[in-house]
Structure 1
Amino acid sequence: MTWIDMPANSPFGPDNLPLGVFRLGDEEPRVGAAIGDQVIDLAPVASAQMMDGAQWFARPSLNDFLALGRPTWQATREWLLDLVRNENDREVVEPHLIPQSAVTMQLPFEVADYVDFYASEQHATNLGRLFRPDSEPLLPNWKHLPVGYHGRSGTIVASGTDIVRPSGQRKAPDATVPSYGPSQRLDIEAELGYVVGTPSVLGKPIPVDAFEDHVYGVVVVNDWSARDLQAWEYVPLGPFLGKSFATSISPWVVSLEALAPAKVPLPAQDPPVLPYLAGESLVNYDITFEVYLNGELVSSPPYKDIYWSPAQMLAHLTVNGASVRTGDLYASGTVSGAQPDQRGSFIELTWGGREPLIVNGDKRTFLENGDQVTITAWATTNTGTRLGLGEVTGRILAG
């Protein structure tokens, strides 16, 4: 319950309270919390209540707050919950409620490093069948470790940023040499991103049971992909220019505490994983994505069946001694389900371009200039209500 007026069935209910960075007019960007269709301007509220650390919320990114660690994250969440539930706080909070329509959302944190995984068995199987039709779809290592690659943090952008069509080398199947030009097979990947707050020490791996001590929360990710560039370049070292030109993230970071009611058991892993990836409390989250192309729903991928848990991804990322830093982002890779309308990329939805979608009456395969893609997501809680993760949107411009 909350004293704040808000739309019915809002994705940003009083149990959510995600954090983001907003700009109001020409004022400096600062931290706010989403409630309904409004933003709580947290810096003046914290100052009015003489809260230690009010300066964290006056800054243009969440990084300083993220670095404070889990005890502070939990205490801050309890404070936020009290602000929206306790009528006695109304006098302090109400003057600092701003309509979301009046603000411009920014990149919520400064991204340090970026790692992208390949954690959906269905997605990996689909691509294996597309790329290696005469072989087993999953490579021998896939069920033994969370496969991933290091991306380019400098090209992670806020939702709403236009995406310029990338150019590069591509080689048509019937060509003898490659050509250069704009990607003709521009794609999306619907993913869940995990935001690291507490750093780790170089040389000291993070065990699976320490996941919640290091990760603050999640964002929705669209990892734009140039499939023709990727197909020509990825052997032998993996994704490079086909991935590094842009990755979009949603503006609101939903805390793991808010997401806790959506925890579900991890699907059975066979064969058994090595000890550093094993644990008694490994979980996934019951999250549903929706992918819209030019306003039309084309896919609803489910996250709950993802094969590798976020704790296993983090453990594998650091098992060689690699450290994580405040602001690191790692993503799940494309989320795809078993049904054709649950695939999280257009290469899967159109089966490599051979089975076009009908969108607004037109046949479509890969992205065209002027297309706009919006990915939304919500968690299903144990009470059956929806907890929104927000949305990430991007429009394709000619390169």
Structure 2
Amino acid sequence: MASQTSDAAGIRRRTHEFLAAHPPATTDPLAFHRARFDAGLAWVHYPEGLGGLGASRALQPVVDAEMDAAGAPGGNGPETNGIGLGMAAPTILRYGTEEQKRRFLRPLWCGEEIWCQLFSEPGAGSDLAGLATRAVRDEAGDWRVTGQKVWTSSAHNADFAILIARTDPDVPKHRGITYFLCDMRAEGVEVRPLRQITGEAEFNEVFLTGVRIPDAHRLGDLGDGWRVAQTTLNNERVAIGGGDVPREGGHIGLVSAVWRERPELRTPELHQRLLALWAEAEALRLSGARLRQQLVAGQPGPEGSAMKLGFARLAQEISGLGLELMGEEGLAYDDWTQVRPERVDFLGREAGYRYLRAKGNSIEGGTSEILLNIIAERVLGLPSEPRTDKDAAWKDLPR
């Protein structure tokens, strides 16, 4: 096994053998995904039997390139299950029991079960550790969860959620939190859409009223939810800001294409702004490549916060430039009537949509202000801000 998967040639040969046995053109997409997972070609760096081969993470692009060239079916990518793939899966892999890993990872990767994230609350966004959703153990040893979550992407489509809730109000806020896997179809879960500036409602608020979660769906130790959640959050920021894009890809590519195709729109001032943003986008892209190289050696760290921060700022500035470049045409927006899109499309929509939707980039996945604090403290090693509530019991904190 090791000789077949330890280098690019070996993993490429293994992928070719798989494609020969499961021709994409004639294999049902779901059956293809299941077979790919079972063959260890889903996440090659995951353990055998869990979608991987125990190989280097650096070999995954080799598999993906061969799959794309062969026309392998999509449908399980970030556009349909980004939270599951980018956040839930690595957290389950690191902290889950063997039973949890085998129960959840395969249907997650195959797109059979869609995931959402129940972290933020109306009173606990930037200060996530201040969350008030309560999980109380019942006589059977399981949990009853009551509270409200907000800004929950894809909750209206989700089958399961990663959830953090307070299990001990008598200890400081970071220590009384436990991490759960919540069935979104369970009795007591209510999802309500939140209309946003684009006119759509991809986010939701979720009300939990006595929702039963088996103790078997607790992830990690009791009261250790904050530490488990850090794995989720670090992976989230890498997933948002550290994606693999080609040179002049993403937002800057769209604006550059308009610049080349529409010379009548150009002005010297817009030219200077485009050049500056192009250079910054390229620097961010190269930084992302370096971050992914670091990931080959281990888990995401706080450096992902810098990538997410840079992505948010550039997305807003570039989309603003695109709007100005197109003038009145940039204000056109073809559909204000969608209520629940299946997925967010940052790059396939008009300039007006991109400009409006980019406003959320500095909030989702950690606000830019909080990310600046993380970078200062955990990357640069600067002194942390004074915190008067660090050692006080959560129940004694003002709310």
TM-score (norm 2): 0.25
Higher helix share: 2
- Report which structure shows greater RCO (CA 8 Å, sep ≥6): 1
TM-score (norm 1): 0.25
Structure possessing the higher radius of gyration over alpha carbons: 2
